[in-house]
A and B are shown apart, each in its own frame.
Chain A
Amino acid sequence: MASHYEAPIRKPLIIGEKTYHDISVDVAAPVEGKANKLWWIAFSISLTAFLWGVGAIIYTIGTGIGVWGLNKTVGWAWDITNFVWWVGIGHAGTLISAVLLLFRQKWRMGINRSAEAMTIFSVIQAGLFPMIHMGRVWNANWVLPIPNQFGSLWVNFNSPLLWDVFAISTYLSVSLVFWWTGLLPDFAMLRDRAIKPFQKKIYGLLSFGWSGRVKDWNRFEEVSLVLAGLATPLVLSVHTIVSFDFATSVIPGWHTTIFPPYFVAGAIFSGFAMVNTLLIIMRKVSNLEAYITIHHIELMNIVIMITGSIVGVAYITELFIAWYSGVEYEQYAFLNRATGPYWWAYLLMMTCNVFSPQLMWSKRLRTSIMFSFIISIVVNVGMWFERFVIIVTSLHRDYLPSSWVMFSPTFVDIGIFIGTIGFFFLLFLLYARTFPVIAQAEVKTILKSSGENYKKLRDGNDH
């Protein structure tokens, strides 16, 4: 059919002899089936990590920020490093579902659901840190512009930290509705397949009574499109604003106009890496190889390679500008980054973020599952160190040498970080067992155009 025509050159996005019904069955399988041993192991590990984190946070709030490794000169270290790291990871989801939707990239459909889930889960982790890094977290509500008994006691809209409050909350809530709206038809599918009354009830509740009328679909697609249009600048703005935390300051190494694009690229970079990490495992565990194909992974790898290169260029530019500016503080800041007491962190950052993605130029490597998986981990290690380098090495030696110090984390710093990782995987594992991890309704729309069997058929007819 003409409406389903797709250039034969394009690789099929759905492998094997699939019908609409098969798709429903495959997507519903993990939800209806029983959890396997592997899942339980993963679950209990992340639960332990999560509880450790909770303990560490309670200790911090109960005793004081002093239980972290911070000091009079280095006022931020792991807390904000983790914050930026998680926000960055979050970006991939929105990017895949929004930007790729605008660009009509069909391959997004296999992965966008999980990518968005990842976004929401990681932004939750991110949001945690600006909270607990406050000395008086019990007054956290003061950062909201809400009327209070003091009448004229308001927030300060000049502060990048306040911009963060707006950016992060908008981002989290918008991604959430975007995600949920997309989920409605798929919940409905699960609801209508469900045999157990309880499951029926739950999915009935979650699906908001979706019925799939023509008009609904019409609005559904419109909303998705507009949301995508809104989310695209939003996702770019979020990390831009996060980068303002540093870019608008006066600290050498922070005060850098290149930060917004550099941070956004870094965010996509780490986000796609995390998506790879998760999906490579998920497609195997929930056997969805037919929908999340090697082709998907390859495309992701290409994005990683490109953004990695952009980040690399940014690093070099920073160094060049520092030298070119002729400002002694600026020059020393970057010299100190690369050769000072934290040279090892800088080296790690460089190797992980700039050199390792270049290997993706080789087709053999970027189509190797194992290799992609390793790189996806390496990249996120590198991106964590990028934030650490930016924050700590800039602070620990700024203007007045009399206040120069060093930083080293305490077990609490580490505990909280591990905790958020645990929390993240905890949420994702629960999601993988209870949510339709593939946007089946959308996938069905491309079955005929990009399904392997249909393509074969059509190509057969052509000659």
Chain B
Amino acid sequence: MASDKKYWKSVEELKAHSPLIEKLRNDEFVEEIPIDEFLGNKESLDNSSTTRRDFLKYVGFTTVAASVAACEGPVIKSIPYIVKPEQIVPGVADFYATTMADGYDFASILVKVREGRPIKIEPNKLAGGTTNARVQASVLSLYDNNRLKAPKSYDKTIEWNEVDTQILAKLNELKSLGKEIVFLTGTLASPSTAQLILKFKEKFGNVKHVIYDAVSESGAVEAFETMYGFSALPNYDFSKAATVVSFGADFLGDWQGGGFEADFAKTRVPKEGKMSRHIQFEANLTLTGANADKRILAKPSEQAFALINLYNKLTGNSLPSKKTSVDAEVEKAAKQLKSSGNKAVVICGINDKNLQLITLAINNFLKSEVIDVVAAKNIRQGKETEVNNLLADMNAGKVGALLMYQTNPVYTMPQTANFAELLKKVPMSVSFAMNDHETASVSNFALATPHYLESWGDISVKKGTYSLMQPTINPLFNTNQFQDCLLRWMGSEETYYDYLKKYWESNILAGTSWAQTLHNGFFNQTAKPTTSLKSIDLNLAAQEINKTFISKEFELCFYTKTGMGDGQMANNPWLQEFPDPITRTSWDNYVTISEPDSKKLGLQNFNVSNGALNGSKVNLTVNKTVLKEVPVYIQPGQAVGTIGLALGYGRSKGMKEEMMIGVNAYSLYNNFKNYQEVSIEKVDGIHEFACVQLHHTMMGRDIIKETTLATFNDTTINPSETWNKTTKVSMDHKMVPASSISLWNDHDKTIGHHFNLSIDLNACTGCGSCVIACHAENNVPVVGKAEVRNSRDMHWLRIDRYYSSDMNAKIADEMEIGVLDKFNQMEIPSNNPEVAFQPVMCQHCNNAPCETVCPVAATTHGHQGQNQMTYNRCVGTRYCANNCPYKVRRFNWFKYKENDEFDFHMNDDLGRMVLNPDVVVRSRGVMEKCSMCIQKTQLSILQAKNEGRIVADNEFQTACSSACSSNAIVFGDVNDKTSQVAKLVQDQRAYHLLDAIGTKPNVVYHVKVRNTNES
């Protein structure tokens, strides 16, 4: 396979500056050609017997030779194994258990390695690991061509031994001067590293370790500390929850490190007529709010008092508070909470210590089983106060050396902190970094660190839970781990690997085999309760809140995008192209504003002639800091008087030009408050968005079927007549389901495997990790902002998002509204819409409209139910795409690989190492689409065959189904009657998308049930 050969070529290249490769690359003729000897001296040339005729002969011969040679295809010279590593069998994938930890995302994962190349991230289900879009995409950051490939000092590359000598000298000097040596890191949550830093302290004395989270949960951490005596975050097990009341907590997103959707989803699928009820008070329309049963719009300032009022209502106490516009809803929420007793939980997303204290108090009062304060979480440890102290120290010139790891403060600090200036006051600034980002580029030393897939490490996500990080590939570049450097500087001989192993054997494993643990990737103890809860004066807290929270005309609410997070993976094209689940907009961040406010400020969104979305621009001012030319996106469900703005964009260093987009919201992120008073002024100019969904409502069509829990539980009615209506047509004067009739005899589907994919719209939170998983598994190309704007995104799997509208057929009839007005108003979403997500990929219709119309039979039906696309037969008439009712087919408008017009990962050898060798990279001019990951199913079948057994149900997985942490996407063989999917297909909630057309899809959806029961 070409890619393998490429790989081995690359390996040679990856030896930092291998002379061989250099030579081969630079000079075409490795040996010197004796031109001068021949042409150089005149006489030999003159008395050489080469006549004109000879010359012509030569010319003739060479021309022919050249043209003959040209007839051969390009030959890729590859360097074969000298000693074949026994683990690597070409064509067979190995899986390694490891852990992702970049200070923002923490996940236990399995890494799929082909011919020594990590190419895909899977969740380590054994360790209860889940993967979000960013974790799925992180494998591509390994092959990021803009990585820091060697250590640098003052913008020139140096050798590691120089680094060591210079830094060591400096450290000792500082030590003697008694200056402070400070570690500024993101949350490492690594026990061994923590201990290592302690050792370092012992060695160098005046050492401080400051933990700084770019997106801070400091309020919650400090609140927890004051209440429970140790610094951590409470853990939540939403699978126990019956009622969840959230105040601006995006817990299906990145709130407190995220990773709750799996448990939450369990309670969202109605079982025995029960499902949890979820009430969300929020300002931005978050992923969580979009999934809520009830969503109440409130400014942060109101949320604060609503929370206190809730406390008062529940406990009967009367903490000082204010009336809010949502008190009625608070009352209902209180009732709801009470009714579900200790199965209730209240959470708060506002980063304010006092509010967090009250939240904890409420949960204590409720004796909530959902919240777990024993096995508390370690994945956010940054404390506001400590960081502020550091800044002060730096300003005062107390700090002698600043060693920064897993953090990029120059980018993430607010403009008011003016970190770049402070850094100049530090005699020695060292930045351990993966790319030459904003901080690394201004530090004295930029030390290249390996990607987590090249590193050793350990993480304790929560108390008693430990997981290991192991390298899955040799370091691609001349990098050193942070920990290895520390060890060397402490004069230790051992590597971090030895250190880690020793640490685990002595402190964690307690006799269990290291090898076994490494293989599993994790090790669990039962966490034992440490301290009991302290009593605190809530009155004080409440008074504080009354002081701090004053309602403003406009309140700016920061959020992190599902795709981009805190922005450290901004150079990852998959994530840039990943459409935001709510706005469906890629390649941007922007101000989200409510429709009434946009009117008031004269801001507008409009579509140009090819449908692409344009929007006005504004300047944002947060106490004197101005953020210029921020695009405006009018967002249904945005609370009036608030605007949203995503962090993590506007990066400007150490990455590709295309990815340096958006505005840096961190510059307004003053003292870690995720809400700010802001003033908005419209400026001239129009921004061009790259939005993949231009139409937002369902136009009253039966695309996502919805019902309420009450109706769903009503046993007196027949679902297929009411909330899961099947289209009926008249056949022989009898009404029969449209999908039941066919023009001709069907093919026999009962023999062998027949694959179906089931998607539960209740469980699906729209998180989009399936989208990236599909991207990675199937070598889907990235097309860039301009092409997405032309509605040419290539995603095989998209997640449609629909808003409810104030207009529907029923209302139209009642108010006697004309059909034209009806449809016109249907296009306008409500101001606080109900939101529904629907993953749509190829439906693999048994009677596929696309297949019949292909003139060259390039798309046909497989015996296992797949609608198969034969890329190399396709001539690209696009007729199939036109005739697809689901519009899931994607056309290669251009050559997307090895083309400078599309300078993303497929354009350089390094980036192409991520490609899956089992899936062909499509050429220009052919159609492509979801294949139901046939390469995976075939593999499972063959393995079972080799081992002479039947394929187990859970063996059949598609990229999306295995990535889906909420278990919304289930894949399997319906001919295996015991399989999960076979049952799901029979479920009374099951329906086929657009069944009326009679395409008989192999993808089945489950009716979305909303819990509207108020108690």
Total contacting residues, chain B, CB less than 8 A: 65
**Which B residues between 811 and 852 are near A, CB-CB below 8 angstroms?**
819-820, 823, 838, 840, 849, 852
In the assembled complex, B697 has its CB within 8 A of some CB on chain A? yes
Among listed A71-79, A191-199, A440-448, interface-contacting one: A71-79
Query: In whole Å, how far is B874's beta carbon from the nearest beta carbon of chain A?
Result: 7
Complex Cα gap A335–B819 (Å):
9
Nearest B residue to A63, CB-CB: B894
Residue from the set A65, A135, A335 with the largest chain B CB neighbour count within 10 Å: A135
Complex Cα gap A65–B791 (Å):
14
Q: Tell me what chain B mostly uses at the interface: helix, strand, loop, or mixed.
A: loop
Complex Cα gap A361–B247 (Å):
74
Query: Per-position contact with B for A150-162: 1 when CB-CB < 8 Å, else 0?
Result: 0001111011111
Q: Is B855 within 8 A of A161, CB to CB?
A: yes
Give chain A residues whose Cβ lies under 8 Å from the Cβ of B873.
142, 153
Residue from the set A75, A154, A398 with the largest chain B CB neighbour count within 10 Å: A75
Query: Per-position contact with B for A111-138: 1 when CB-CB < 8 Å, else 0?
Result: 0000000000000000000100111110
Q: Is B882 within 8 A of A143, CB to CB?
A: no
Q: Is A165 within 8 A of B882, CB to CB?
A: no
Total contacting residues, chain A, CB less than 8 A: 55
**Which A residues between 246 and 293 are near B, CB-CB below 8 angstroms?**
248-251
**Which A residues between 387 and 414 are near B, CB-CB below 8 angstroms?**
395-396, 398-408
Known A135-B925, A395-B882: A159·B609 in contact at CB below 8 Å = no
Q: Tell me what chain A mostly uses at the interface: helix, strand, loop, or mixed.
A: loop
In the assembled complex, A70 has its CB within 8 A of some CB on chain B? yes
In the assembled complex, B18 has its CB within 8 A of some CB on chain A? no
Contact with B878, one of A76, A143, A400 (Cβ below 8 angstroms) = A76
Q: Is A400 within 8 A of B800, CB to CB?
A: yes
Query: In whole Å, how far is B680's beta carbon from the nearest beta carbon of chain A?
Result: 30
Complex Cα gap A453–B401 (Å):
115
In the assembled complex, B503 has its CB within 8 A of some CB on chain A? no
Complex Cα gap A309–B243 (Å):
66
Give chain A residues whose Cβ lies under 8 Å from the Cβ of B840.
400, 402
Give chain B residues whose Cβ lies under 8 Å from the Cβ of A159.
852-855, 879
Contact with B882, one of A155, A251, A407 (Cβ below 8 angstroms) = A251
Query: In whole Å, how far is A67's beta carbon from the nearest beta carbon of chain B?
Result: 8
Among listed B304-312, B593-601, B885-893, interface-contacting one: B885-893
In the assembled complex, A374 has its CB within 8 A of some CB on chain B? no
Complex Cα gap A89–B951 (Å):
60
Give chain A residues whose Cβ lies under 8 Å from the Cβ of B890.
72
Contact with A401, one of B611, B698, B874, B877 (Cβ below 8 angstroms) = B698
Q: Is B891 within 8 A of A400, CB to CB?
A: no
Complex Cα gap A130–B874 (Å):
14
Q: Is A136 within 8 A of B693, CB to CB?
A: no
Known A155-B855, A402-B693: A135·B876 in contact at CB below 8 Å = yes
In the assembled complex, B275 has its CB within 8 A of some CB on chain A? no
In the assembled complex, B610 has its CB within 8 A of some CB on chain A? yes
Give chain B residues whose Cβ lies under 8 Å from the Cβ of A154.
857
Query: In whole Å, how far is B47's beta carbon from the nearest beta carbon of chain A?
Result: 51
Query: Per-position contact with A for B223-237: 1 when CB-CB < 8 Å, else 0?
Result: 000000000000000
Give chain A residues whose Cβ lies under 8 Å from the Cβ of B701.
328-329, 399, 401
Give chain A residues whose Cβ lies under 8 Å from the Cβ of B994.
399-400
Q: Is A72 within 8 A of B791, CB to CB?
A: yes
Give chain A residues whose Cβ lies under 8 Å from the Cβ of B996.
327
In the assembled complex, B552 has its CB within 8 A of some CB on chain A? no
In the assembled complex, B883 has its CB within 8 A of some CB on chain A? yes
Query: Per-position contact with A for B673-697: 1 when CB-CB < 8 Å, else 0?
Result: 0000000000000000000011111
Known A143-B856, A249-B882: A64·B800 in contact at CB below 8 Å = no
Q: Is A75 within 8 A of B855, CB to CB?
A: no
Give chain B residues whose Cβ lies under 8 Å from the Cβ of A71.
610-611, 790-792
Q: Is A398 within 8 A of B876, CB to CB?
A: no
Known A72-B793, A335-B819, A405-B791: A142·B856 in contact at CB below 8 Å = yes
Residue from the set A63, A400, A404 with the largest chain B CB neighbour count within 10 Å: A400
In the assembled complex, A415 has its CB within 8 A of some CB on chain B? no
24 residue pairs A–B, Cβ–Cβ below 8 Å: A64-B893, A65-B878, A70-B893, A72-B887, A75-B891, A76-B879, A133-B878, A134-B876, A134-B925, A135-B892, A136-B875, A155-B855, A156-B856, A158-B852, A158-B853, A159-B879, A162-B855, A332-B699, A332-B823, A399-B885, A402-B838, A402-B840, A404-B611, A406-B611
Q: Which 3 A-B pairs have the closest CB atoms?
A: A135-B876, A135-B925, A66-B893
Binding site for B on A (CB under 8 A): 63-66, 69-73, 75-76, 130, 133-137, 139-140, 142-143, 153-156, 158-162, 165, 245, 248-251, 327-329, 332, 335, 339, 395-396, 398-408
